Amino acid sequence: MADLMKDSIQAWLERLPEDVRSAIPDGAAGDEDAAKAVTEGIKGLATPEQVLEFVDGNGDSFVAMGRARRVRFLAWFASRTYPSRTESFVALTDGEAGDGGQGGRGKVAPFFLEDVRALVEALGPRAARGIVDAAAIEAVAGAGYEVQSELEMRQGGAI
């Protein structure tokens, strides 16, 4: 896990593409003590259950450390090779499991969810550009013309 301290987060942010950085408008702002507590606390956690338990007990720190650090934490967690990685990742944004939504994960889950949404919104145009290129548009347009022609033939005239 990369450390979540200000210098490290600032260097990480500077390497991100502009569209990704736009999802993190507060930059490296956030509580340094909270970031240090999270950085130290997750060292050596080997299972998703251990990580989720740590989040349950440290919700305030995750909220206070700011979006950039939470995104960095989420990236670290998502990159782990846990057998139940997907379910565990969902549990971070759920907030109900583990603490009944009362504190800890229940407190930070809405922040994690908003962090993920911000990234999705920022990366949406990039994903669309990767999916919709000139060849894809031509294929869709060609299929549209074929469907239109077929419908015209069935109806005996223009639509």
> What is the dihedral sign for C-alpha 149, 153, 154, 157?
positive
17 within some domain: yes
Compute mean pLDDT per 10 residues along the chain, 159 residues long, and list them: 86 93 93 96 91 93 96 90 81 67 76 92 82 73 72 65
- Rounded to 5°, the CA angle 84-94-19 comes to 90
pLDDT recorded at residue 39: 95
Domain residues for the domain of 41 are 6-131
158 within some domain: no
153 within some domain: no
Return the amino acid letter for 96: E
151 within some domain: no
118 within some domain: yes
pLDDT recorded at residue 158: 52
Residues 151 and 154: their CA atoms lie apart, in Å, by 5
pLDDT recorded at residue 68: 96
**b/e map of 72-100 (b: 16 or more CB within 10 Å)?**
bbbeebeeeebeeeeebbebbbbbebbbe
Overall size of the chain counted in residues:
159
Q: How many domains does the chain have?
A: 1
127 within some domain: yes
pLDDT recorded at residue 101: 47
159 within some domain: no
1 within some domain: no
